[in-house]
Structure 1
């Protein structure tokens, strides 16, 4: 906070006030709706929208991030707590706060240990698959509230109200913005109008419900909403700490991932720089604050942050203003909040999560990399078939599995010289000339224990297909590290080639790699030479039967120097 306060200017205030007001109007129905997704009383969604953004403003590095309840985290909360307590019960409320407290502690510790880089190990296709599966799961879970019963026992007044609200929201999402622009509104104002449509639809449904007394006809409402600010919540269940460890870790991980996705997208638009470790601290403090104020796990919301940005937010002061306005809404009479019809809230949830279906990522991945596309589909299917926690685990395993699978099968190219130049290229892609006595292989990966066997196998295949080769040159342009296992594998390869009368040469070894190789016995034992470049190897290795001194010998760099 001290950083952005030092740079604060009076001209920024108008944008922060307008953004704070717009997001507060959006947060009331959205927060209450997401609390219902989490299996909690609607007012808990407002509790979770007051203290968390204040604490995030203290530590977070994003200028436009809006922190509060979010659909996926609400669904994960419900999935974690449903086996432990009845939704809406006193124990359920305690466990929701306890889960937020543990997730916040995880995030806080990760921030203090500066391990924000771990989020990079969750690929975008897998993240998209998790989002798609969660969105479908949330939407299906709201059908009963939308229709006032299951598909076999539809409550007609509830269904008419819910489906009508759904139709209006879909109209607003797909048609309202162009319509508002045609009547003269600026694009930014039109987009904000679309974002506020859920609030107006819910208010309209409430007015209609009161006017024709739909509650007497069986339409469910949110019920009594306690007036006043939440008190300090220190309640925990000692019997459930262990059961909540795994869900807390998963929710903490997803909280950071979702929040960083939203913050990075907006930071790029303003050329701002994020600090992932400060984001962890801010999100950790926000979740601990939510737990202490009777809320549940929160994160940065992609859609709400976009509204905050579009409404003119310049600094986290906009979120502070939002929190103050929501606190005032609870201090004021809250009787009108009790009249919000649940079918209308269900409609807002369904439309909100349908916007999370990132099918464009699936299309791109299917065209570009079928492996990533299949990982996306598998993650989505895992969420739908086995639940949210299983979906997260499947996503992490697939992300790491894909990384390991690709790293264990490095691309290796047979090189030849482009005629009249010193450039060497893949002979499968370019009309390059080769020498029958030399096999030049370029390894396009770091060498480590996971891929050395694949590299040795590829070398053996290459030598079998080039039986006249008396020299093997490994061009190591793309090799930035060689671990101990790979070092032993190179030594074994050198010994094997020596027995078959084939020289092993290295070319274009990077300085840091050479520095480490010099601490081993490999350079001295090498059955060949180390060349500065592929061209030097080509010229320095005499043709079979030709006796001449090498034109270019290797010059090993001194320690601390790079080639």
Structure 2
């Protein structure tokens, strides 16, 4: 039981020097790579840059103890930063102490929700986010984050958490562009683009090994941070209107205690729930991908507890909501991490920097962080997914498009909620009108196929109706109408066989409908039969009175029903 809820006990007893060396190297690399990201995502949320560093310390250590992924790296991420800023801006003014305290409360609520969902084994909750909806949400969020960073890239003041408000604010401040800031920001952006587009090819031509090529390419943002910071310090760009990170408090994060605040919790519970679900979906997707490559196993419900513990740790250490990060995890895995200890080592490395090296970050230009964010989040814009979804299902693409539109125009919360509602609505609509087919026998075989698609043997007095959906309250009435229309159209029918090979559930409403169908068919001198009923469904039917009142039989197979009934014309 202890190992189940504390997965670190599964790998810690087997820890050795070989694992230590791999994890230590990965921890050092992750430390260097994610420092600018951590600060950038904190600033994206409207928080001081140091909050991003704080959120990379204790949360990472808690996840290492509680999580089941050996490669997932936990800390501030772009989409959670955007959602955090949107939520906090409604309850407090950015830059105030109240804003900071609201961030701690948001982390506390998110952590508590994740931990409770994990304890109640509610990992399935994330399934309500369909892939097209979450793809549309992430794509729109990527665009929204990129737009929000344009003001920092060119050195103007612009505010808002929707695309329209941001662009409108940006247009009104174009006359205030700071040329040194724009030169630095656009230059950094071009460098990052060049590294991503041509860096690997160039480094291979120079004769570097594959591992060194990958590491050097991923270090592109780090090189940009170092070079721009040096330029900023040498030329004292902060004296020419270039925004820099400024003074970062040295030392480890203070212990914070978010006191109960009913008003604040009432305003933040819905954003906290959305942040929890989105963070879990993003984390579990990345964790499962990495685990599959290494033939490891992820336990989704324990991941909820691990992420919950990480967010609770953020709440009590002056942090912000955290999640498993795409770029963090890719860097961690690529650097050779073998166990969650790599994440703990990275946390220690960031702790060392917050203790003694923060003065070095004073001259880091905000425009550089903005360029780093833009290049990072544009990978969220999944154009190929949009094309595939449009070709395959227009209804799913409609849900994706509406989610994107609402996210861009009304904010991340509205977009995500509407996307979930559309996903559930489309599911209910589709399953409320289940596909059914009149089947016939393929000559010379025991196979039965849709008579409208294949040449089959049929009998005028026998209708073999295959139902391709579970039967529940939303489609029970539709089944009644389908069978009633079938009997009314074919006056010679004497036997109706419902083929239940695709039926995994018959709920109480559907059972009442089957009773009604059986009764009406009996009054019309038509016998109702069932075939290929699955074991769990049959077990539930045996607990009811339906089988006792069924006018016909329950056949083991469709072929058995065909052989028995094809000659039984009245």
TM range (shorter): over 0.9
1:103 Cα shift?
Answer: 0.7
Segments of structure 1 that go 5 or more residues without pairing to the other structure are: 547-563
Report the 3-state secondary structure (helix = DSSP H, G, I; strand = E; otherwise coil) of the residue aligned with 1:413. strand
Asked if 1:122 is matched to 2:129, the reply is yes
Q: 2: distance between equivalents of 1:524 and 1:237?
A: 58
Partner of 2:5: none
Q: Is the 8 A contact 2:459 2:566 kept in 1?
A: no
Q: Is the 8 A contact 2:135 2:385 kept in 1?
A: yes
The ranges of structure 1 where at least 4 consecutive aligned residues each deviate by more than 6 angstroms after the TM superposition are none
Partner of 1:226: 249
Q: 2: distance between equivalents of 1:235 and 1:469?
A: 71
Segments of structure 2 that go 5 or more residues without pairing to the other structure are: 1-7, 157-169
1:183 equivalent among 200, 203, 206 = 206
Partner of 1:288: 312
Partner of 2:230: 207
* More moved, 156-165 vs 533-542: 533-542
1:388 Cα shift?
Answer: 1.1
Partner of 1:346: 370
Q: Is the 8 A contact 2:462 2:566 kept in 1?
A: no
Partner of 2:386: 362
1:377 equivalent among 384, 401, 405 = 401
1:237 Cα shift?
Answer: 6.9
TM-superposition CA deviations, 1:1-32 (whole Å, max 9, x none): 11111232322222212211111011111011
Q: Is the 8 A contact 2:434 2:475 kept in 1?
A: yes
1:380 Cα shift?
Answer: 1.2
Change (3 A) 1:157 1:455: same
Q: 1: distance between equivalents of 2:98 and 2:546?
A: 65
2:462 equivalent among 434, 438, 457 = 438
Q: Is the 8 A contact 1:48 1:295 kept in 2?
A: yes
Asked if 1:41 is matched to 2:48, the reply is yes
Q: Is the 8 A contact 2:435 2:468 kept in 1?
A: yes
Q: 1: distance between equivalents of 2:211 and 2:490?
A: 65
Q: 1: distance between equivalents of 2:450 and 2:265?
A: 57
* More moved, 208-217 vs 41-50: 208-217
Q: 1: distance between equivalents of 2:349 and 2:269?
A: 34
Change (3 A) 1:540 1:235: closer
Q: 1: distance between equivalents of 2:73 and 2:35?
A: 14
Partner of 2:19: 12
Change (3 A) 1:155 1:492: same
Q: Is the 8 A contact 1:439 1:463 kept in 2?
A: no
* More moved, 484-493 vs 398-407: 398-407
Report the 3-state secondary structure (helix = DSSP H, G, I; strand = E; otherwise coil) of the residue aligned with 1:422. coil
Change (3 A) 1:539 1:235: closer
TM-superposition CA deviations, 1:463-496 (whole Å, max 9, x none): 3443322221111111122111111111111111
Q: How is 1:294-373 mapped onto 2 (pairs within 5 angstroms)?
A: 294-373=318-397
TM-superposition CA deviations, 1:515-556 (whole Å, max 9, x none): 32233332232222222211121121153657xxxxxxxxxx
Asked if 1:484 is matched to 2:491, the reply is no
Report the 3-state secondary structure (helix = DSSP H, G, I; strand = E; otherwise coil) of the residue aligned with 2:449. strand
1:453 equivalent among 477, 484, 490 = 477
- TM-score calculated relative to the size of structure 1: 0.94
* More moved, 305-314 vs 454-463: 454-463
TM-superposition CA deviations, 1:16-60 (whole Å, max 9, x none): 122111110111110110011000111111111111100101100
Asked if 1:137 is matched to 2:144, the reply is yes
Alignment RMSD: 1.6
Partner of 1:552: none
Q: 2: distance between equivalents of 1:494 and 1:413?
A: 19
Q: Is the 8 A contact 1:439 1:466 kept in 2?
A: no
TM-superposition CA deviations, 1:262-309 (whole Å, max 9, x none): 111111111110111211111111111111111100000012101100
Q: Is the 8 A contact 2:83 2:275 kept in 1?
A: yes
* More moved, 315-324 vs 521-530: 521-530
TM-superposition CA deviations, 1:75-110 (whole Å, max 9, x none): 111000102111121111111111101111111111
Partner of 1:146: 153
Partner of 2:62: 55
* More moved, 253-262 vs 26-35: 253-262
Between the two proteins, the alignment pairs up a number of residues equal to: 546
Report the 3-state secondary structure (helix = DSSP H, G, I; strand = E; otherwise coil) of the residue aligned with 2:528. strand
2:218 equivalent among 195, 217, 222 = 195
Partner of 1:261: 285
Report the 3-state secondary structure (helix = DSSP H, G, I; strand = E; otherwise coil) of the residue aligned with 2:207. coil
Partner of 2:166: none
Partner of 1:539: 563
Q: 2: distance between equivalents of 1:355 and 1:263?
A: 18
- TM-score calculated relative to the size of structure 2: 0.93
Q: 2: distance between equivalents of 1:70 and 1:104?
A: 16
Q: 1: distance between equivalents of 2:391 and 2:556?
A: 39
* More moved, 48-57 vs 521-530: 521-530
1:402 equivalent among 401, 419, 426 = 426
Q: Is the 8 A contact 1:202 1:344 kept in 2?
A: yes
Q: Is the 8 A contact 1:95 1:237 kept in 2?
A: no
1:236 Cα shift?
Answer: 4.1
* More moved, 435-444 vs 503-512: 503-512
TM-superposition CA deviations, 1:331-350 (whole Å, max 9, x none): 11422211101111111111
Report the 3-state secondary structure (helix = DSSP H, G, I; strand = E; otherwise coil) of the residue aligned with 1:248. helix
Q: 1: distance between equivalents of 2:213 and 2:403?
A: 35
Q: Is the 8 A contact 2:229 2:361 kept in 1?
A: no
Report the 3-state secondary structure (helix = DSSP H, G, I; strand = E; otherwise coil) of the residue aligned with 2:133. helix
Q: 1: distance between equivalents of 2:241 and 2:555?
A: 84
1:183 Cα shift?
Answer: 1.9
Q: Is the 8 A contact 2:87 2:271 kept in 1?
A: yes
* More moved, 224-233 vs 146-155: 146-155
